[in-house]
Amino acid sequence: MAEWWRGSVTYQVYPRSFQDDNGDGIGDLKGITRRLDHIAGLGVQAVWLSPVFTSPMLDMGYDVSNYTDIDPTFGTLADFDALVARAHALGLKVIIDQVLSHSSDQHPFFKESRASRDNPKADWYVWADPRPDGTPPNNWLSVFGGPAWQWDARRKQYYFHNFLTQQPDFNYHNPAVQDWMVENMRFWLERGVDGFRFDTVNFFFHDKQLRDDAADFRVKTEAEGNPYQMQYHLFSKNQPENLRWMERIRALLDEYHARASVGEMGETHHAIRMMGEYTAPGRLHQCYSFEMMGYDYSAAFFRSRIADFFSGAPDGWPMWAFSNHDVVRHASRWAKHGVSQDALARQAGALLLSFQGSICLWQGEELGQTDTELGFEELTDPQGINFWPEPVGRDNTRTPMVWDGSANGGFTTGKPWLPVKAPQLARNVASQAGVPGSVLESYREMLAFRNGSAALIEGATRFFDLPEPILGFTRGEALLCLFNLSPNPVAVQASGVGGLVGPQQVASLSGGTLTLGPNGYAFLAIDGAAKVQA
C-alpha cells in the first residue's frame, strides 16, 4: 500500500542502546537484527533507526562524517543490508535518520571549506566575518550552550553551528549542497530503505542577512536553564526556503514506490502550526514536534493540540509521540498523575494509540520504562554535561534496553556504555511477556486493536466538552474513546453507545453510566448519536 504510513505506528530504536551483539558494551546492527522479532511482535508497522553513519560520536552519531557508510561501532553496510532484509521479511518498514542540516567538523568537505575562502567547498558551510570589535556577526545562540558562532583562524571568519562547535551547519543557500544531499538520500533509497526521519527539519536555512533573533515574547519570571529558550528564533532557523527544500525531498521520495518521510519539528513557538505547514500537500508525509513531550497531562492540553492541528492543517498529517531519545520518559514525567507506574504506563499507551495521525513509540516505552538517575560522572551527553544539573540531559532516557533480569539486562556481555540500574532492570521484556495485565501485553493488545480498527486508523476526531480530568472523543462514526487522566475514580453518562469493546482499564458500564477507575480508560461502540456528560 503506497500510503502505509498514514495511521501507522513506528518504533524508534536507539542503536547504541538496543542490543549489543559483540560484547563491547555498545549496541550494533547485528544486535538490532536479532531483536527485530520483538518489534514485529508488538504489532507496529515500521522501525526508525537513529543514526548509524560514520561519526566521531561527539553527539552520538548526530555529527556525521560520512553520509553513505556505517560507523564501525555499529557494523558494516552488509550488516545494514541484512537488517533491512530481515525487517522486510517480518513485514516491517525501515526508516533511517537523516542528519542533513549540519555535519561533523571531521567531514572532508568541512576540512576543505575551512582551509581557505576560495576552495571548491568554501561556500558549502555558513561563514561570516566578525563585527569590527571582533565579536560574532549576530546574537544567535547554540542549542548546546553559548554563541552559535565559532572563530576559525584559517579563514579569519566565524562559522555557524546550531549545536556543538564540532557540528558546523551546511549552507543550503548553495544549490550544490542541496544536489549533493539528494544523492546521499538516493544512495539509501536504492539500498531499500522505506523512508527517512529528518533531524531538525526546520533548521536547514538561515537568514542570509544574518539578522539578530528576537527575545522570546513569552513572559519569563526567571532565566531559563538553557538561554537558547530565551530567544524567538526568527532568523537562525524557520526560514521560508525550508518549505521549498521539503518539496524537493518529497519529489525525490515520489520517484520510489511507497516511501515515506517524517520531520522532527525542533521548535517551541507555533510548533503545531508549523507541523501543518511542513506536511502540506507536496511536502513531508508526516511531522512530529515536542508538544506532547512536556509535563502537561491534562485533557484540555491533548484536546487543544490535536484539534489545533486538524483545524489548521486539514490536508496535513501529524505524528504523535510522548517520548523519544531527547526527553525525559513520560512514565517519569507524568508519574504524579498515576495511581501506579503500571496504570499510568498502560493508560498512556492506550491514549497515544487512540490519537488520529501516525504514532511513534520510543524503545522501552512498551515496558513502562522510566528515566535512569545518573551521576555527573556517568554522563556522556554534551547537553547534559553543559547544563548540569538542569535541564536534565538525554543520557537518562538513553540507557540500554532491558531484555531480562540478568546482569546488564541481557543487553551486553561487556560493560554497557551507560549503566543498567535496578529500577530499570526490574522492568524487562522477559518478566512481562505473556503476563496478562503487564504493560508489555497491554501495548500488544492496544496495537492489535488499533490495527484492526478502521476508526482508529482513518476516522476523524470529534471531542466532547468534558471537565478535567476526563478526555472524551469519537473516532469516525463507530468508536467512542474515554480516559480518566487522574488517580481518582470518575463517572460519566453516555448515550448512543453499545457495549465496551477492545482494551479497557478499570472501566464498567451499567445502564448509561460509565465508571472509570484510577487512570481508567474505555472504548465503546457507537450505535446512535453518541453523547457524553460528566
**Is-contact 270 184, C-beta < 8 A?**
no
Query: Is 255 among the residues known to form the active site?
Result: yes
State the first-to-last Cα distance of the chain, in angstroms, to the nearest integer: 41
Angle formed by the axes of helices 271-278 and 299-312, nearest 10° = 40
Q: Where are the alpha helices (DSSP H) in 98-240?
A: 108-113, 175-190
- Residue corresponding to grid cell 510548533: 271
The answer to whether residues 284 and 201 touch, using CB atoms and an 8 Å cutoff, is yes
Which entry of 118, 133, 222, 255 is annotated as an active-site residue?
Answer: 255
| DSSP category for residue 51 | P
Within a 10 A sphere around the Cβ of 255, how many other Cβ atoms? 9
Write 295-299 long-range contacts (CB < 8 A, 24+).
295/333, 295/334, 297/333, 297/334, 297/337, 297/485, 298/468, 298/469, 298/485, 299/466, 299/468, 299/469, 299/470, 299/471, 299/483, 299/485
In the block, cell 499507551 appears at 349
Query: Coil, helix or strand for 281?
Result: coil
Identified catalytic residue from 63, 199, 365, 381: 199
Helix (H, G, I), strand (E, B) or coil at 383: helix
**How many other C-beta atoms are found inside a 10 Å radius of the C-beta of residue 209?**
7
296 is catalytic: no
What is the H or E stretch that residue 496 is in? strand 490-500
Residue with cell 453510566: 513
Residues identified as active-site: 199, 255
